Amino acid sequence: DIQMTQSPSSLSASVGDRVTITCRASQSISSYLNWYQQKPGKAPKLLIYAASSLQSGVPSRFSGSGSGTDFTLTISSLQPEDFATYYCQQSYSTPSGTFGPGTKVDIK
Amino acid sequence: EVQLVESGGGLVKPGRSLRLSCTASGFTFGDYAMSWFRQAPGKGLEWVGFIRSKAYGGTTEYAASVKGRFTISRDDSKSIAYLQMNSLKTEDTAVYYCTRLMVYAIRGGRLDYWGQGTLVTVSS
């Protein structure tokens, strides 16, 4: 099974900050990597698919990069509505693509 | 507008059964695979299982933790996916989400729409 790790597990940031979250796969997954945002009490929301493609309707301050085993999600200028938990998910082994443990972004 | 609405959650005793429904709207339901995920309180996201579209046989796959106890089915005429959960255990307590799975041609995919989730609590 492919294992996913994320770092950091949590971070504190201010509005306007540039935020970077890292995701690593236990084996190469090419670009089969998605990113989701989840707010408390809500369902996850797809942000980025295929490592770097922005899902329709998602603000352009979100971007993704990477391939193989190492990936990043970047928020170029953090907004108040971005405080949430972010999950990466490998889709190499769709339909059972495993999620990372999440990175919680909260207010500094 | 694509919408997925789960229903059927609640409190159930260990060993009993429960059926969740996922009612879809805003897209041609029969054209898509559907997946179920769950999230235990304060925990991460766990894949439960999925069902292919009829064009790909309508077959199912399950996580090892639920295989033999859970069954996914679909009624394309009603745009509903079901998750039948039997022999429930306390460790099945979670919010259950249905998702639309956009499968790519060769491999991979993305979960582009999610329901709001329904809480299943297994406790005596």
Which run of H or of E encompasses A99?
Answer: none
User: CA B64 to CA B48: how far, in whole Å?
Assistant: 9
Q: Token match 């796959």: residue? A: B61
Residues 6+ apart with CB under 8 A from A2: A25, A26, A27, A29, A90, A92, A93, A98
Query: Which of residues 4 through 43 in chain B touch A, CB cutoff 8 A?
Result: 33, 35
pLDDT digits (tens, 9 = 90+) for A42-53: 999 999 999 999
What is the predicted pLDDT for the residue at B104? 87
Nearest to B37 by CA among B15, B1, B10, B70: B70
Tally of helices (H runs) and strands (E runs) in chain B: 0, 11
- CA atoms within a 13 Å half-sphere pointing along the CA-CB vector of B46: 18
Interface touch A44/B45, C-beta < 8 Å? yes
Interface touch B110/A46, C-beta < 8 Å? yes
> Scanning every residue of chain B, which has its alpha carbon at the shortest distance from the alpha carbon of A39?
B116
What is the predicted pLDDT for the residue at A95? 87
Q: What letters, b where the CB count within 10 A reaches 16 and e where it falls short, cover A76-101?
A: eebeeebbbbbbbbbbbebbbbbbbb
pLDDT tops 90 at residue A108: no
Amino acid at B50: F
Residues 6+ apart with CB under 8 A from A30: A67, A68, A92
Interface touch A97/B117, C-beta < 8 Å? no
What is the predicted pLDDT for the residue at A31? 96
pLDDT digits (tens, 9 = 90+) for B67-120: 999 999 999 999 999 999 999 999 999 999 999 999 888 888 999 999 999 999
